[in-house]
Structure 1
Amino acid sequence: MTQPTPARRRLDAALARLATTFRGMAAHPDDDNCECHWGSAEELALLKTPDVELSPDLLRRAYWAGDWEFPAAMLRRILPPLASALVSGEVVRLGGMDEAGRAFARGRWQQWPTEQSTAVREFLDAWWVVTLTDEDAEVPAYEVLAVLVEASGALGRWLDAWATATGPVASRRLAEAFDEWQYDLLCDDPPWRTWELTDDEEEVLRVELTAWLLRHAPDRLRMIGADSTLVHRLGLLGVAVPDRWDDPLMPSLVL
């Protein structure tokens, strides 16, 4: 049996810490939602009852709903199962990675008591390290990064961790990410939507991501033998837009 890596052990410990820290938490007793569109009163009662196991569908509807009056209490209630579902890829299969990140943002977890906010931060950090270094990580790095940026409101700390993770797995994740992002970035568009940020703030993130890719990604992609066209298109991020269009290797979907 393969022994878990140090990164996996750290993530397992972070998940266990979330379970301990948020044991006994419940949704606010006065929170409510539409029975016609969200779910039944009985299901809402489950969210207001501590430590009752939630079905995957109820968990999904809890983090998808953006109209909770007490989003911090709701996030505390669902955090342990939501974190586990994120790590396992269940949230991807349910189609709600974007909404999961927004649930963190709406909950304003950075403002929580230190014990709670530290547990959340450690989970996010540990999940990112596994994503970048573990062959068996369930969720692509570009999906995880979008959640982390939404959840934290920042990009730099996650890129800094990627810069220091220089192994082949992290570099392959980088190639996969740029392959996913290339069409948006070559059109000077952000590669994901961050609903808690303004358009100007999103533009700052796009510029930061583009500059980071130009600095860190070309050599790493070449070292792992990434497709030469992909490497060339990465270099086009440093070319002014009018000249970029004339390059024969510009993706056809951009033109």
Structure 2
Amino acid sequence: MTSPDGDVLAAAVARVATTFGGMTAQADETVCGRCFDEVEVELLRTPDVRLPTDLVGRVAQKDPFHWDDQPAIIRRVLPQLVVVLAEGAVESALMARGLAAAGWSRWPREQAGAVAGFLEAWWTQALRMESPPTPACEVFESCVTASSSVAPWLARWEVERGTVARHHLTESVGWWREELTSDDSPFTWWWGTAAEEQAAWHEVKTWLAAQTQATVVPDGLWPDRQ
């Protein structure tokens, strides 16, 4: 039996499939033959043909400047990309960079809403599952990367008061141990300026420090706290 959160995520995935069905790469899209062969490019130009999962991942992870029309490329792979992410992807944040570079939040309302709905459902499910396909901290990093913002994801975390969500919080603090004691950010694939990235990470660190009153956190992570 599926969980309510799983049903919400499945509905979000289905919405993306409906919204972006029939979309293709530009007919004149040209790519480096070393990265994608002509058969793969032709698949990207053809609507509603199922793509190999490996191709979906490589397209999403590719340097955004590789493409003539990167947003069109991302829209083409989105119906399968969200499935890959939901099921557990290696380097999900790198795939999320492709979304950020495509500027999805500025797309038409229905398209932007479908992407936002997926990210929200993916993050919520990760917070509520004991063992999500992708660790919660990595889903967080991916959602932050995709949106170039930490605020909506921290807001969701804030209201999740269950034992599972608190466990993910403690686990994430351990995952980010080195970054929390330095000026480095865990947002490896941040799409924006270095200053914006540092400001975002500072916001996360401040929020996490405030949570330690209710959560057991390893000693030594907050050297400025008395």
Q: TM (normalized to structure 1)?
A: 0.83
Report the AA paired with residue 232 of structure 1.
Answer: D
The whole-number CA distance in structure 2 between the counterparts of 1:112 and 1:206 is 26
The whole-number CA distance in structure 1 between the counterparts of 2:192 and 2:224 is 23
Q: Is contact 1:23-1:50 (8 Å) kept? A: yes
The whole-number CA distance in structure 1 between the counterparts of 2:33 and 2:140 is 33
CA 1:154–1:237: 2 relative to 1, 3 Å: farther
Count of aligned pairs: 224
Q: CA deviation at 1:137?
A: 1.6
Q: 1:159 aligned to 2:159?
A: no
Q: CA deviation at 1:237?
A: 5.5
Residue 222 (structure 2) aligns with? 235
The match for 2:186 among 191, 194, 199 is 191
Residue 3 (structure 2) aligns with? 5
Over residues 236-255 of structure 1, what are the superposed CA-to-partner deviations in whole Å (9 max), with x where a residue is unaligned?
3637xxxxxxxxxxxxxxxx
In structure 2, the gaps of 5 or more residues are: none
The whole-number CA distance in structure 2 between the counterparts of 1:17 and 1:206 is 31
Residue 214 (structure 1) aligns with? 209
Higher relative contact order (CA 8 A, sep 6+): 2
Q: TM (normalized to structure 2)?
A: 0.94
Q: Is contact 2:140-2:153 (8 Å) kept? A: yes
Q: Is contact 2:97-2:191 (8 Å) kept? A: yes
Over residues 43-93 of structure 1, what are the superposed CA-to-partner deviations in whole Å (9 max), with x where a residue is unaligned?
10001101111112211221122211211111111001110000111x21x
Q: CA deviation at 1:194?
A: 3.9
Q: 1:123 aligned to 2:118?
A: yes
Residue 25 (structure 2) aligns with? 27
The whole-number CA distance in structure 1 between the counterparts of 2:93 and 2:123 is 16
Larger Rg belongs to: 1
In structure 1, the gaps of 5 or more residues are: 222-229, 240-255
Q: CA deviation at 1:136?
A: 4.0
Q: 1:146 aligned to 2:130?
A: no
The match for 1:52 among 42, 49, 54 is 49
The whole-number CA distance in structure 1 between the counterparts of 2:171 and 2:31 is 39
Q: 1:17 aligned to 2:12?
A: no
The whole-number CA distance in structure 2 between the counterparts of 1:203 and 1:39 is 34
Percent identity for Structure 1 against Structure 2: 36
The whole-number CA distance in structure 2 between the counterparts of 1:149 and 1:69 is 25
The whole-number CA distance in structure 2 between the counterparts of 1:191 and 1:72 is 25
Q: Is contact 1:149-1:155 (8 Å) kept? A: yes
Report the AA paired with residue 119 of structure 1.
Answer: A
